[in-house]
Each structure stands twice: as structure tokens, then as C-alpha cells.
Structure 1
């Protein structure tokens, strides 16, 4: 009996490993895995394969009957796990799986990365017949696939050991019966092959219609590319941690999507500040920046900068003494807010746009995303009076409040030659501090403007070529001969605003609910429970010119690696997403800027472009952040106009 089984599966294995799909009756073999794919595969790295769940463990037998667990066999590799039985005669069942595995194993001879990172495991669900020696013999039929890589053939000691494994992988196996109802040698089962990552997460499940070696290799290459990107990000973060310890959020979320993520929150008490000479920095901007344009009626002085710094971090400048400028423009988060797509103001009130970074705002002639203000002096009053930001009812209210706070007595007079607090002097003071927050001397600057070849990686140099060439980014993010602002002080329609206004969204949205766990939620459900996005037509709201609909200001790319999320509404979370957006040509609409077009970038070109943008982080970021940490945080205390002593509060 055993000889008959062995003879049967040997014949099946030999047929599968040497089959020529063109020579076999198509009515018998219909599975795509035997031939060429009938469609073009998506570009590697252009799609996501989020975890589908945990891969389960279980006890199995390998050659010589040695006991092992599946996790031991996985051995921190990517794994393709298939459930088969050796005597299967359905060519679109187990033989198909073995044929596809044979193709992948053969490909390992030509691809060292594939051979080193992927392991194939065929697990029998017929332990009565498929003993360890039988499975070893079965596997010998595929030795011609070459020695590169691993393909292991395993079984279990009994059905009792097998059942928990089958159940955990949702594999239903039924013993076939003959016409008289007696069990025969066949099994009925649904073919499913599992792609499992080193963290024991199932990344894809392949059925008959999708089991093809080219598709599986494409999926694995996509995951490996994403892993490489994540590794590069973490590596960059480690380097940044050595040279830019302060320039990151208090709770570092690198790798948050992994189940192994551990919070990296930092004790605020340990983040000690150190006052910097901001006037010296402003008077002598770092390498790569031109001289700061300074208004004739508001020359910089140390007193003005210090006063503006104090005002910037003072919560008492808001209606209820709880909100400061720095709570939207967080110093350690690139002077923006990495945690929020769109800003949140006093009492949690929604703001419809992302907080722009304050870095290098001294060079901007258009302020706010729609360019509605032209000077920092004017801009300062916008958030102070906005009902959903700091919510002060009037200019006079703010000025009277400051006049009554003891620790401001004499500061305005000292900074402005005897002039006290006024609408003009308050704007000048805040503008002076923001004007001093200039940052450059990045790796790019040292390479570009001093000729230091070692300052920039090969990938970033290639990215610079793409930035200034094929992608055409430099058309808006300008680079000069002696300096580079990476902006054009213009407004453009990229389609982001149009998409939001027209509600052009996919039917489902992926939401991360915990590290490594994502779910797809119907857009209709989100619309039911979520706040309806406010209308935003960009520059049109300022000019009332229909041609200005959905135009927004070009931001500088300096320190862009620190200022996620991106775009005026924070709708793109990473630099990779930004590059993908522009590579696709934005969102088509009748007013789309003619500079926006499909770019046709390869995965490598996209990665190089991101590396280039990451090279734009200034060397003095830590200095500016440490200075911010040294600033006093204005809070209500005894002597302030809003102070009420606890014993005097009468509960009603």
C-alpha cells in the first residue's frame, strides 16, 4: 500500500517539476500558476501589503523524525507556507503549489537576496502516509531547482498535532469518500499559501487564481523594499539622534506600524534648554542662506528677539490663558506639529489647515498657506484673533491683558526706545523672534557650496539630479548659485485642494488602530461620525479670482524631514507619499498648474529623491530647539490679571 502511495506522489512530483503548460490540455490545467501571467504586475514598491494577522505556531516533524516548532523553522525569515499531501492528484491543488515553489526555488539561483531572505515550507496534512522519510523522498524530486535557498518538507506526528495548526490557519480538510461512503485516499481542501514575514505576520494569502511565482516574488520584493526604507529611516534617526537629539517629538514613533514598537517618550525634565545668540545667527545666516531681508522700520535687536521669544511661548496671550503660538509650532517637531494633520486651537477647536513651519519664514513674502499676509509683523495678529486658534476678542483685549502682567513691565519700553505695548510693537517683537529662526548648513549645503563630496550620500546626489532634472522639482523649489531657499514665493494648484473640495476619496480608508494593526473603514461610516471637512478653496478666498481656486503657497523644503505631515491640509504623512503624489501628476482638474505632470519615476529614483530631501536638515536645528526649551512658558500665576487664588474660588 505504501509503495502505491509513493509511486503515485513520485509521478505527480516529477510531472509538476517538469511540466510544460503549453503541452497540456487547457481543460485540465486552468490555474494561472502553470503559465505566464495574463496581466502586468504593479511596480515593486507601488503598493502596500499590510499585516493580515498572526502566523500561528505548532509542532512538526522534520527529517529523521526530529520535533521542531514552526517558529523554529521560520527562523526570522520570510516564509511561504503551503499545506499539501503527497498523493494529491488534482493538478490545480497540491501539485500546483509544488510547481510554483519549484519556480521560486529555481529563481533563487539568480537572486541572492531572494535566496537569503525567503524560505519555502511544505507541510503535509496526511501524517498517516506522509512520514518524515516519505516527505524527504517527495522533496528529493525537486532537487533540480538548485541548492540556493531553502525548501523544507515537513509533517506532523499525528492528526492530534495537526488539527490545531490547520484550525489556526483556517484550513478545512475533508477526507473524500467513494460511492459507498467509505473513506478513500484523497482529500478535499481549498488551496491557500501563506506569505509570512519575520515578525510572524501574515502578509498575503494566495489562492489558486493568484498563486503564481512572479506575483509572489513581486510581493516579497515590495515588502523588502519597504523594510529597507524603514531601516534607512531608523538609521537616519539614529544618526540624527547623535547630532540632533532635540529635533524630534517627545514620543518618537519611528516603526510605529510594527508590532514590536516600544514607546520612546522622553521626560520633559531631561530636555534642558540652553539660550542661543539668536541675533548673531540672524546677522550671519548659516551656509546656504542669503542675508535676511529686514524691514527698515523694525531692525533686529537682542531685546526685540528676547521679547518676541517670551511672547511666542506665553499661554496667557490666548483668551483663557491655555494656548501659546508654540502649541501649534512645536520647536522639537520642526516648529510645526507632527502629530496633527490640521491644527487644533484653543479648547480643541479645529483649524482647517496644517501648521506651517516657522523655520526660515524670514525669507517669505507670502505668509499663511493662502498668502494673505506679506510681513511677519502683520501675520502675528492672525492667530491671536482667530476664534479657533487663540480666540482673543479684540486687539485692545490682548494689549490691555499684557499691560496688566507684571513680568512684561518695562520690556516693550526697553526693546522699542520707550514705546510701550501696542498693536505695532507686539507684532514687531513676535516677528523679530521668528525672523531669527533661520536654519541651514545642511549636508546638501556643504556639498553644494563648499565642494565637500563626503557630505552627501550617493543616493542623495542621484536624488539631486532627479530633483533638478527629470522630476523638475526645482521649478518651484528654487536653488541658486550661492544660496537656496527651496521655494518660489508663489502659489500653485497641485490638485490636493481640488480633491478635498470635490470629496474625491477611495471607498475605504486604512486606519492604524494599534502598532502593526490596521483596518479598512468604509468612507460612508467615516462621513457619518466624522466632522465634515470645511470648505477650502485656497488663494481664491483672498483674491476672489476664480483662477486662484485651490492655489496654495510653495513651502520651503529646508528641514522638510522634520516637518511632516505635508501639504496645506497635512494629507500626506511621509516624504514617500509626497513623491508618489507628484509622480502620479497630482490630481487632475481644469486649473491644475501646468508644471504638475506624471513623472514616471522608478522605485529607486523615488527613494533617491527622498534621500536628497532628507539631506536638507540644518546643522543648527538643535541650537534653535534648545533655545526654545530655555524660554519661559508663560502661565497664569499670582499677580496675573486672570489669577484666582484657590481659597477664593466659590463653588456654585
Structure 2
């Protein structure tokens, strides 16, 4: 079957027809155009290896707007294909486009996976494939279902680093006179990229079949249940339920119900024995060594709702695995019966490395810290240690577990040790930053993120508190500082009226007197001063780690900032002046572009293997009260 190069608009019109005619044409076309000679594997019955980090780069959408590839990934499962629109090789670019279209058709009746997959078709011929040309090329594929973007670049110079990073070899073909023929010599490759911007499979012609690709996509979706709100501008790897567009009648939640969560148990003990790129050796106290039995018991306790006063609340309801082991849904935590907690739930990722716990640093060991939430009236609400131990003793599914782990029954010490062992193995490193700085992968970090790191350690001075070493980085000095956030909250006067949202898109102004009749006054918070009674410690709070910071919004001890940009802009202004303001806090003089670069860098600190911990958490038993 001899073909001549077709204009991209005509080719886009013909491809759907080729798709429907596939049974007739199968004999002369690539394997992807006909049925598999075997059954595709069952999704979730196998694992896909991590093949490397998906590189970033600047591209243009079909309206000519510049975008970064990583912004288009934004926590979704992505299929990235490199093509040129005038390709006439049926075993090449048209095949990739047809397979993408088949996937869209297959997912029309499956909105859940369709809403979490994005297709990216990127031209490697920017001279011919302008944004307008790519827009015309994509016109035949706008029939709903999976989100599909047709992209190009400004120039070959901007494209080349992207091609090199993905190992995509492309060469122009020339005739005997040395003139370009308008054709390219290349090997078709399509990349499957997970929600953490990692390449999980690379398809060539022989395996680029929609049934195989769909099985892989569904396998990743089972492995990494990270809901996405469907907005390209949402933060990278945003966990939880993205409320973007909440006021719109078309808004749909993407939160996972408990009975929809599926996970796979991990060997957390063996995982904790392995070095993690970017992190020092895991500190384990001599009097509470890690064992598989203790970790498993602590994991069971962590997700057990029966250990609260009214058997409705567990540790995991403030430290939600898929939300960075914190809570993104509210600025400050909520305990049993909706009781208000005045501070934000801190992340538990890498909590093993901290020597000061809680925002005010009042505890020094995980073994002791766990009892704070158990006994707080506005958290789990238990009246005493004995009440918790009696509850555990009464539950038949705990019978023998403490004896197996400790050689004795449940007690204040063993409950604390078991929970501490589980929390201690929630280790998260091997981020894109780690692979760039400590793994020496030059393509692991975008140019903007590298600029952000330069600012982080230089002009912005962030590294003075969020420390970075030559061999590893905890991104915290484990000390306490007054940035002015607590001072500002304490000094704010009650407004004469507040705007209260009562339903999506419906708000009312409520005067202060009426508001006070139905709302509890916001409790004061003096930070470290409440522990030491030293006036110099007013409004001091522990420096949080910045690892996984893109997952742990809202920010600060009171959740006052909803985005990383707001945090950076607060520090750019010099914090909030007060008599105890830390001398390290000062106006930074950052430009808007420099703020962007810092945010980009902070977004590169998400751990590379978080999915293992989240999947393991989803496999944990959830103790429900009667």
C-alpha cells in the first residue's frame, strides 16, 4: 500500500476512518491495528518497573501558549508520543495516533480511569508543525473522553534537549541533492509516565497495542491511587480532593471512598533497611529496634478507629496517606465529633529524623508523642491511658499480637513503641532533586528548578533553616523560629463582618455579633512560649521539613497559606514584623520569575517511592467500631 505525504488536516480526518477499517486493512498494517493473538494481562496482576525520571521541557500548546511538560503531567498517568504530522509510514506516527484514539474509545464507558489519564502528542518537526498545524491535526480527535493535548515547540533548539532526555533519536532525510525531503527517520516510541513523573514503560511498534497499554494504565492506577481534579493548573501530585471549580454546577469530587481504596502490602521492614537517596541512615533507638512484628502491629493501631473514645477516629484520619500523611482538606485538624484542633496536622514523612515533635517541639520521642493525640479531648478523646489499654485488651483481633511483638501484653510502653516503629519507617527520599544533586542525573531537575535551588541556597536564604548537606538533606534545622505567622494570627482583630459560604457559589455577609453566637472563638496560640514560659519564645514554631511539601498544603502551623506561592511571597515580604522576629527573616527582593523558580524547586522534593507507602496504607485493616 503506497502512500504519499498528506497535509496534517487531511491525515487527521482520515485516521478515524482507518481506525474503523482496521479489520479490513490489518494484513498490511502494524500489529497495533489488529486484535492481540493472546489475552492482555489482568491489570494489577503484575508490576511495572521504574525506568527513570520523565524529563521536563518547554512546549507550546495548540493555541501557542508556552507550558512545561511537568505542568501537564500534574499527578496524572500520561502517555507521551513523539510524532510529525505529515508522516506517511503506517507503522510509525499514524499508528501512535490510532492507538491513542482506540484508548479514548475504550475508556468512554470508564470515566474514573479516563479522568486520570492524559495523552500528549508532541511533534518533533516544529518548523512545519506550528501550533496552528497541531491544532488542525487534533481536530479529528475532540470527541470527549480522555484529555488529549497536541503540542509542539518554538524551535528545534528548544526541542532537542527534550528528545535527548527521552532517548528519542530523530534524523531528517535528504535527497541526492542535499535537499530536505520533509521526512524523518525515527523509531516510534511512546512513554508511559506515572503520577510521580517516572517512566514506567516504553512502547515500540511491536508492543504498541491499545489492550496492552490499557492494562498498564489500569495497573498504575491501582498502584498509585492519587485523585486528580482534572485541572491542568493544579499543583504537581496534589493529593486529596481538589476543590477547583467547587462553586460550579459541573463540579465532581474525585475523593476515594474507603471501600474504593485498593492497596498492596509492602515489606516495610526490608524497605527501612535500604539506603534512601538524599537521606542519612535511619535513626533507630537502641531500646526500640525495628522488627516486622512491631511495624505490623503499629500499622494496625495507626488505622484503627476503635482506639478513640467513640470508636470513630484513627491516627490516619488526620495523617491521611494519600495526602502526604497530613490533611489537605482543612487548615487545622478536626478530632472526634468535629471538635476543633487549633493547629495543622504535620506530615509524618521522615518523622524518624526529628528530635523535636509537635509544632512547639514539646516531645522528643515518637514513643511518647503518640499518647498526645490519644488523650487530647479534641483529638481522639480518650480519658486515660488505661481506657485505651482496656479497649485494646477487649478486641479479639489483637489477641497474641503484642505477645508476638514484645513478649508481653499491651501497655503504655508497648503501644507507644509499636506506633513509633510504624511511623519511623515512613521514609521518603529519592526525589527528582535527590537524583539530580546526589544521584548526578543531569536531566532529573528542570532548568527552572535548578534556578530555584540556586536561590534557595543563595539570595532567598531558605537553606539557613531548611538545611541541605553535601551527602544528604533533611530540609530542616530541627529548631524553632518566629517568622511572624503566629504573631499576626494573635494580633488580628475580629472583623465587623465575615463572608460565609453556605453552599457551592452561595455566600452571605454575617456580622460579628451573629457569627459569635454560632462559632467558637479561635483559641490563642503563643507557640513555644506555652511550653517554656519564656517571653523570648513567643510565636516560635518548629521548622518543618520541605520534603514532599507539594503534597502537604495548607502550610504553616495554622494552615494559613493554601499554596506554596503564598508561602514564598510571605517570606519575600520579610514575614510579619514583631519584637521577637527571627533575625534570619528579612525582605528578599525576589522577582515574580524568581518566586516561580523557587516554587518549581520546592515541587521537585516529592519522594520517588511514596506510592509504596500509600499502597501499603490502603491495604491496612481499618478497625471500625460497632
Alpha-carbon distance in structure 2 between the residues aligned to 1:336 and 1:527: 29
Contact 1:539–1:551 under 8 Å retained in 2: yes
What corresponds to 1:537 in structure 2?
A: 526
1:304 aligns with 2:294: yes
Equivalent runs, 1:394-409 vs 2, <5 Å:
394-409=384-399
Q: 1:397 to 1:528 in 2, by over 3 A?
A: closer
Alpha-carbon distance in structure 1 between the residues aligned to 2:328 and 2:456: 25
What corresponds to 1:561 in structure 2?
A: 550
What corresponds to 2:254 in structure 1?
A: 264
Q: 1:360 to 1:626 in 2, by over 3 A?
A: same
Alpha-carbon distance in structure 1 between the residues aligned to 2:194 and 2:293: 37
Contact 1:576–1:606 under 8 Å retained in 2: yes
Alpha-carbon distance in structure 2 between the residues aligned to 1:514 and 1:288: 45
| 1:431-485 deviation line (CA, Å, top 9, x unaligned) | 0000000001110000011111111111111111111111100001001111110
Say what the alpha-carbon RMSD is for the aligned residues: 2.8
1:354 aligns with 2:344: yes
Q: 1:516 to 1:442 in 2, by over 3 A?
A: farther
Q: 1:400 to 1:628 in 2, by over 3 A?
A: same
What corresponds to 2:375 in structure 1?
A: 385
Alpha-carbon distance in structure 2 between the residues aligned to 1:259 and 1:237: 28
Alpha-carbon distance in structure 1 between the residues aligned to 2:510 and 2:576: 23
1:550 aligns with 2:521: no
Q: 1:265 to 1:313 in 2, by over 3 A?
A: closer
What corresponds to 2:611 in structure 1?
A: 622
Alpha-carbon distance in structure 2 between the residues aligned to 1:455 and 1:318: 44
Q: 1:400 to 1:517 in 2, by over 3 A?
A: closer
Q: 1:622 to 1:522 in 2, by over 3 A?
A: farther
Q: 1:447 to 1:255 in 2, by over 3 A?
A: farther
1:371 aligns with 2:361: yes
Residue 277 of structure 1: which of 250, 267, 270 is its match? 267
Residue 419 of structure 2: which of 430, 434, 439 is its match? 430
Q: What secondary structure sits across from 2:570 in the alignment?
A: helix
Q: What secondary structure sits across from 1:450 in the alignment?
A: coil
Alpha-carbon distance in structure 2 between the residues aligned to 1:264 and 1:239: 20
Alpha-carbon distance in structure 2 between the residues aligned to 1:521 and 1:570: 23
What corresponds to 2:475 in structure 1?
A: 486
TM normalised by structure 1 equals 0.59
Contact 2:367–2:416 under 8 Å retained in 1: yes
Q: What secondary structure sits across from 2:567 in the alignment?
A: helix
| 1:82-102 deviation line (CA, Å, top 9, x unaligned) | xxxxxxxxxxxxxxxxxxxxx
Residue 431 of structure 2: which of 442, 467, 476 is its match? 442
| 1:353-374 deviation line (CA, Å, top 9, x unaligned) | 1111111000000000000000
Alpha-carbon distance in structure 1 between the residues aligned to 2:513 and 2:570: 24
Residue 583 of structure 1: which of 572, 579, 589 is its match? 572
Alpha-carbon distance in structure 2 between the residues aligned to 1:486 and 1:434: 19
Q: Which runs of 5+ in 1 are unaligned?
A: 1-111, 118-234, 638-652
Q: 1:528 to 1:465 in 2, by over 3 A?
A: farther
Q: Which runs of 5+ in 2 are unaligned?
A: 1-59, 66-192, 199-219, 227-236
Alpha-carbon distance in structure 2 between the residues aligned to 1:256 and 1:612: 29
What corresponds to 2:285 in structure 1?
A: 295
Contact 1:463–1:609 under 8 Å retained in 2: yes
| 1:249-268 deviation line (CA, Å, top 9, x unaligned) | 45333455778654334454
Largest Rg, 1 or 2:
1
| 1:35-90 deviation line (CA, Å, top 9, x unaligned) | xxxxxxxxxxxxxxxxxxxxxxxxxxxxxxxxxxxxxxxxxxxxxxxxxxxxxxxx
Deviation at 1:515, TM superposition (A): 6.4
Deviation at 1:420, TM superposition (A): 1.4
Residues paired across the two proteins, number: 407
Residue 318 of structure 2: which of 328, 343, 351 is its match? 328
